[in-house]
Chain A
Amino acid sequence: MKKDFLKNFESILDEEPNFKLEMNSKFRDLDEWDSLTALSLIVMLDEKYNVKLSGDQIKVFETLEDIFNIL
Chain B
Amino acid sequence: MNIYESAFGLKNKNILITGASSGIGREIALLCAKHGASIYALGRNEEKLNSLRNKIGRRYCKIFSFDLTDNDRINEFIENIEGVDGLVNCAGLIAMTPYKFVTSKLYSKMFDINVKAPLLLTTKLLKKRKIKKRSSIVFISSINGSCIGAKGFTLYSSSKGAISGLVKSMATDFSKLKIRVNEIAPGMIKTEGIESIMANASSSSINEDIMKYPLGNYGSSEDVAYGCVYLLSDASKWVTGTKLVIDGGFTLI
B-binding residues in A (CB < 8 A) = 11-12, 35-36, 38-40, 42-44, 47, 54-56, 58-59
Contacts and interface: CB of A to CB of B under 8 A. Distances in A.
A41 to B, nearest CB: 9
B230 to A, nearest CB: 35
Contacts of B97: 43
A11 B152 CA distance: 16
Contacts of A56: 202-203
Given A55-B199, A56-B202, 14 more contacts: A11-B100, A35-B152, A36-B98, A36-B152, A38-B202, A39-B201, A40-B98, A40-B100, A40-B152, A43-B97, A43-B98, A54-B200, A55-B200, A55-B205
B151 interface: yes
B100 A39 contact: no
23 contacts: A11-B100, A35-B151, A35-B152, A36-B151, A38-B202, A39-B96, A39-B151, A39-B152, A39-B200, A39-B201, A40-B98, A40-B100, A40-B152, A43-B97, A43-B101, A44-B101, A47-B101, A54-B201, A54-B202, A55-B199, A55-B205, A56-B202, A56-B203
Interface of B: 96-98, 100-101, 151-152, 199-205
B122 to A, nearest CB: 33
Contacts of B98: 12, 36, 39-40, 43
Chain B CB within 10 Å, residue with most, of A11, A39, A42, A44:
A39
What are the 5 A-B residue pairs with the smallest beta carbon separation, nearest first?
A55-B202, A55-B201, A40-B98, A54-B199, A36-B151
Contacts of B199: 54-55
A42 B200 contact: yes
Contact of B205 (A35, A40, A44): A35
Given A40-B101, A43-B101, A59 B202 contact: yes
A55 to B, nearest CB: 4
Contacts of A59: 202, 204
A38 B199 CA distance: 12
A64 to B, nearest CB: 18
Contacts of A54: 199-202
A71 B151 CA distance: 27
Contacts of A12: 98, 100
Contacts of A58: 202
A59 B100 CA distance: 22
Contacts of A47: 101
Nearest to A52: B199
A47 B96 CA distance: 14
A63 B95 CA distance: 28
A48 B173 CA distance: 47
A37 to B, nearest CB: 9
